[in-house]
Chain A
């Protein structure tokens, strides 16, 4: 939501090119993410995961309402030339905008996986997530790791918001529909599994659409929650999650 709003301001108010607006949005939201870490999350770094989850949900609601006060609740539209270019393949059609979401989304994911698995920054991130104290003892500046992680995470979220903005409308609660789905994807994938997230997200998205079209639209959301319940019962660590 924040990513889409910043993109809207950059693209519509300041008249920037869509991709440039998306880049601006990623940087701005990335910085906001880092500030959130410095102001809030740093304080509860030693608390259990659940506290962080509750904090992030609280912050999400706070930001939603803050944006509603500053930006207004009425929906606005970002329109790009790509929205009206329709490509027809194999008897179906897709707009260039949607195709670009897939391409840019994949590029960002590949970039993220490369960053985490192949670079020193990524290595320090993985080390910190596995055992913070040991990482610290190995001379990793964990404050910098947290800053980087929050920046990258927030920037990725901003990219997602910016990409989806032209096909939806921009308003404070635009992400509410996706909020619970995102949690379901995380549970299905297992916390901390980046490649798992990609498959889980694709699986739930495609399965939901197929169910809605071929079975019933009424059961669309039911499916996501059924998966959630079964995963929690059968394999709480997630599909790709390791041995607890």
Chain B
């Protein structure tokens, strides 16, 4: 009888673990708890150029990022990027706006990643500090709250990180973003990958909002290029055995497999897929870090696999940025920092072209005209504030030193990927 009792206790325990596991899953996809780094004190170099340039003005800009709370690590990086850009601009003599030199001063507010604090921060920057432009923020829901206020007051706001589609489809005339949306990525990616010459593809995606979004968005965009999605499958976070799901996809006999997964599961998927089929074309979305994937799966497995990325760490601009960033903050750079940096530079160009520090409408119109080659790529905007930052395409290749080739969109369309 003891055994029976033990088994029923076991059953209850399993139930509890399953529930706990589910709760854990949900938590994992919505938040990314990372320990916030020591907060770097913003040091606006307002006075630096003052000695030489007698009539230099000060351009005060607002910056909102989560600096405390669960996503503070990423928010701090974005803020650091903007701070570094502002410091570099000031050190080079500042901005020339309408024939007058200005140094940039940033007023930095913490929104903790929540809409409530983002709204409060935006109100403070607009009504109290009367800034002509806000850079921020991180989570799309927080950005939406800040953008509503900024748009109502006619103050341009540009987010370096938020990618929810609703931000640019809500009719905000004063909202801009410096990062491509999933939608924008997909449109480019489908056309670029269609050049590789396959006509049928199987999709394997992680079972969350991102993965399911890819399953919905890719097929119709591939259709005009004659590519048909013949099978779609999902996997769960934490899954380690992909043989069954991959076998199922391979049974549909697609010419290529498209994987939506982040670095860790993608490494396991590629390894197991290559064991099952050494020849099939493998494509993956922007979720992997190429260098990290090389470390986990090894060059043999990855050879010939295609990926795209918003952040290609080995471009000369990027490497140069990394060195400057490490020297300035003594921490490793991440892509958020590059976005923060690029957005500050975009803002600089907009002010230079607008020729005013007070006319919000002119500043907004100038932002729409900005075309800028930054660390993350080539930026330009449309009237809804959507940026068309072009992503780059990569193919793992063990014959090159860094382990992968990089191709531009134009390379892909022209078929220059041999």
Contact = CB atoms under 8 A, between A and B. Distances in A.
B414 interface: no
Contacts of B17: 57, 179-180
B247 interface: yes
Q: Which label, helix, strand, loop or mixed, suits the secondary structure of the B interface?
A: helix
A218 B232 CA distance: 12
A48 B6 contact: yes
Interface in B18-50: 18, 21
Interface in B216-251: 233-235, 238-241, 243-245, 247-248, 251
Given A48-B5, A236-B7, A217 B238 contact: no
Nearest to B6: A49
B89 interface: no
Contacts of B1: 244
Interface stretch (B66-74, B293-301, B309-317): B293-301
B267 interface: yes
A169 B295 CA distance: 11
Contacts of A84: 300-301
A232 B7 CA distance: 8
Interface in A178-216: 178-180, 183-184, 186-187, 190-192, 208-209, 212-213
A192 B4 CA distance: 12
A156 to B, nearest CB: 20
A54 interface: yes
Interface residues of B, number: 43
B413 interface: no
Contacts of A50: 5-6, 9-10
Contacts of A168: 240, 268
A167 interface: yes
Nearest to B235: A217
B238 A220 contact: no
Contact of A77 (B11, B239, B241, B295): B295
A212 B251 CA distance: 12
A213 B244 contact: yes
A107 interface: no
Nearest to A211: B244
A134 interface: no
B13 interface: yes
B239 A177 contact: yes
Contact of B4 (A167, A209, A228, A237): A237
A98 B233 CA distance: 24
A128 interface: no
Contacts of A167: 271-272
A93 interface: yes
A57 B13 contact: yes
B3 interface: yes
A191 B13 contact: no
Contact of A187 (B10, B238, B251, B295): B10
Contacts of A213: 244, 247-248, 251
Contacts of A105: none
B7 to A, nearest CB: 5
Contacts of A57: 13, 17
A73 to B, nearest CB: 10
B187 interface: no
B331 interface: no
Given A176-B21, A177-B238, A236-B8, A244 B3 contact: yes
B297 A53 contact: no
A79 B298 CA distance: 8
A77 B7 contact: no
B243 A228 contact: no
A208 B244 contact: yes
B4 A53 contact: no
Given A208-B244, A212-B244, A217-B244, A232 B11 contact: yes
Contacts of B21: 176
Contacts of B328: none
A173 interface: yes
B2 A48 contact: yes
Given A183-B10, A186-B10, 7 more contacts: A50-B6, A77-B298, A169-B264, A184-B14, A191-B3, A191-B7, A244-B4
23 contacts: A49-B5, A49-B9, A50-B5, A75-B267, A77-B267, A79-B298, A167-B272, A169-B264, A176-B21, A176-B238, A177-B239, A178-B240, A180-B18, A183-B13, A183-B14, A184-B14, A186-B10, A187-B10, A190-B3, A191-B3, A212-B245, A213-B248, A217-B233
* Closest 8 pairs between A and B when the two form their complex, measured CB to CB: A212-B244, A49-B6, A50-B9, A217-B245, A209-B244, A77-B296, A213-B247, A168-B240
